[in-house]
Amino acid sequence: MCAHMCRVYVCTNKDLEDRTLRLWDSGISGKSQILFALVFTTRYLDLFTNFISIYNTVMKVVFLLCAYVTVYMIYGKFRKTFDSENDTFRLEFLLVPVIGLSFLENYSFTPLEILWTFSIYLESVAILPQLFMISKTGEAETITTHYLFFLGLYRALYLANWIRRYQTENFYDQIAVVSGVVQTIFYCDFFYLYVTKVLKGKKLSLPMPI
């Protein structure tokens, strides 16, 4: 959760407005942010049906607000600097199979359970528009790579949490774990480049697609 909040802070803090302007201009995918907003919306519908704790409720609301504020900043406040020409991933290529899989593989065929399953599957591939955008431009600014690092760290820590829960509670959620592994795999190349280049003060660059 801290990793997720760090990546939002990098994107939205007003004290970092100059950097934020550079962030939108240097390769943040608005389409990935739309998918993340959809992920949290469909996952946290239980806010209206199930109270767990004040902390749980507050954090869910914070996640939702952060997701929609980020989308607003990209397509509203900073739309003039947003690189829409390179943010061209076709979202239907992700949404259609994820919707289908959510109906086929779930724990219970109820609306809330299907939507929760949809959110888990969608989160595992929501980063693809961002990675596609970086591969299309061939490079990413340092602030963008920091943002992606925290986003990937957020998912990697979730995997650690599932491992701990299995060891201490003998609890295993196959859908969440498999989806988390898939998402982490998508980050592997980026993590390698982050460690070998960005942390050494170099700019992250990729081979341009042919």
pLDDT tens for residues 91-127? 999 999 999 999 999 999 999 999 999 999 999 999 8
| 210 in a structural domain | no
| 176 in a structural domain | yes
| 190 in a structural domain | yes
- Cα gap 184→12, rounded to integer Å: 24
In this structure, the number of other CB atoms found within 10 A of the CB of residue 49 comes to: 7
Q: Write out the residue range of the structural domain in which residue 155 sits.
A: 2-84+92-202
Cα three-residue angle 36-32-153, rounded to 5 degrees: 70
User: Mean pLDDT for the chain?
Assistant: 81
pTM above 0.75, yes or no: yes
Q: What pLDDT, on a 0 to 100 scale, did the predictor assign at position 178?
A: 87
- Cα gap 198→205, rounded to integer Å: 10
| 207 in a structural domain | no
Q: How many domains does the chain have?
A: 1
Question: Model confidence over 142-174: pLDDT tens digits?
Answer: 777 878 888 888 877 877 888 888 888 888 888
| 193 in a structural domain | yes
**What average pLDDT does the segment 40-55 reach?**
89
